Structure 1
Amino acid sequence: MNARLVVIDMQRIFRDETVWNVPRFDEAAEAIASLEQSLARPGIYTRFVRGAGEEGAWSAYYDRWPETRLPAEAPEWDFVEEPPSGSSVMDAPTFSKWGPELAAEIPVGERMVLAGVATDCCVLSTALGAVDAGRYVTVVREACAGATDEAHDQALALLQMLSPMCEVVSLADVVG
């Protein structure tokens, strides 16, 4: 498959026992490792980091999760595994990682293979932004994990409704 892998927020704050723990994080990480090996080009890895300004509704969001009001250099924001050599890394204080920086890496007409956490938040938001910008998105079911299994399945069902702009596939469909 001629596509670019985009891995969303595979960070300690989502794997460790925190308020944002994603229960199937390690399973998604295993699937992402398979994707890394099967796709020829280096991937793009994103990190969610708290915006210091907490503009608008973000302040209320962090009021709900005060233990996540951490500086950008806090180890909780670190990747669990460092991205492979040659990969791009992008930080963003937003759920959606889609924006000018990622758009520059995924030209119109190129397919983006999307993986990471959480399916029902940052993966979903990123997929919607990319689709709105006219990009083809492939979400790999096993390479994502949600806050709960139910939330994961619901997010994937929503994304499947966007076919053919967004496809939800199994890991075997991508790695063969």
Structure 2
Amino acid sequence: MTSSWARTSTGGANSHLVVIDMQRAFRQTGEWHIPRYDQATRTIASLAASGLEPIITRFVPGPVEKGSWSSYYDRWQSMRLDPADPIWHIELPGVELRASIDLPTFSKWGQELAERIPVGDEMILTGVATDCCILATALGAVDAGRYVTVVEDACAGQSDAAHDQALNLMELLSPMIRVVKSESLLNLRPAAKPAEL
């Protein structure tokens, strides 16, 4: 008997490409810089070009720093910026941008993603940072009964070591979460039809 996971783990009709927080704050030099940001961008663009329509999320500071968030921004005072600041803009060359899901939390799992990704469907997870918002989103999604595929070369962490540690941690939750390279997914996608003359 074929499991639901086997049926939905090929980047097919029941798969949803989710792109986490590919924003200027993490691309540019600064306290939150992600070294392999551009490498992840190129891989995400390849996945989107294969026909997987991206759902894009954006980290935006909340208007009120509730509880421990105040201490967090005390540590990262240079990032205590207005939600309208250009630093929070999406920077994702090669991908057609649509309206984003904006949240002031590490995890982007919530009502909006839940409405787009039904129970039992696969979320193909990409973006930054592997060791923060990717990890938090993956845990929220599997708690809510979604299958998660983390594309390791379409994600990037605060460092290579942090990236690898987060991937190893998520792999412990197999089969709810699996970690793959983009090549595995792209090889399973149907070839694009040539343009009509």
Question: TM-score interval w.r.t. the shorter chain?
Answer: over 0.9
Task: State the AA in 2 paired with 1:45.
Answer: I
CA–CA separation in structure 1 for the residues paired with 2:166 and 2:92: 25
| 1:162 equivalent in alignment to 2:177 | no
List structure 1 segments (4+ residues) > 2 angstroms apart after TM superposition: none
| 1:63 equivalent in alignment to 2:69 | no
Give the aligned partner of residue 50 of structure 1: 61
CA–CA separation in structure 2 for the residues paired with 1:112 and 1:34: 17
Give the direction of change, closer, same or farther, for the CA distance of 1:88–1:113 in structure 2 (3 Å limit).
farther
| 1:104 equivalent in alignment to 2:119 | no
Q: Which whole-Å deviations, capped at 9, do the CAs of 1:126-145 have from their partners, x for residues lacking one? A: 00000110100000000000
* Counterpart pick for 1:23 among 35, 55, 62: 35
Give the aligned partner of residue 131 of structure 1: 142
Contact 2:131/2:157, CA 8 A, preserved across alignment: yes
Contact 1:46/1:91, CA 8 A, preserved across alignment: yes
Give the aligned partner of residue 143 of structure 1: 154
Contact 1:159/1:167, CA 8 A, preserved across alignment: yes
| 1:33 equivalent in alignment to 2:45 | yes
Give the direction of change, closer, same or farther, for the CA distance of 1:112–1:84 in structure 2 (3 Å limit).
same
CA–CA separation in structure 2 for the residues paired with 1:136 and 1:29: 23
Give the aligned partner of residue 175 of structure 1: 186
Percent of residue pairs identical: 56
Q: Larger C-alpha radius of gyration, 1 or 2?
A: 2
Query: TM-score under structure 1 normalisation?
Result: 0.96
The alignment's C-alpha RMSD in Å is 1.1
Contact 1:43/1:88, CA 8 A, preserved across alignment: no
- Structure 1 residue runs of 5 or longer lacking an equivalent are none
* Counterpart pick for 2:163 among 152, 165, 170: 152
| 1:72 equivalent in alignment to 2:89 | no
1:81 CA displacement:
2.8
Report matched runs for 1:2-21 at 5 Å.
Answer: 2=12, 3-21=15-33
- Structure 2 residue runs of 5 or longer lacking an equivalent are 1-10, 188-197
CA–CA separation in structure 2 for the residues paired with 1:59 and 1:143: 31
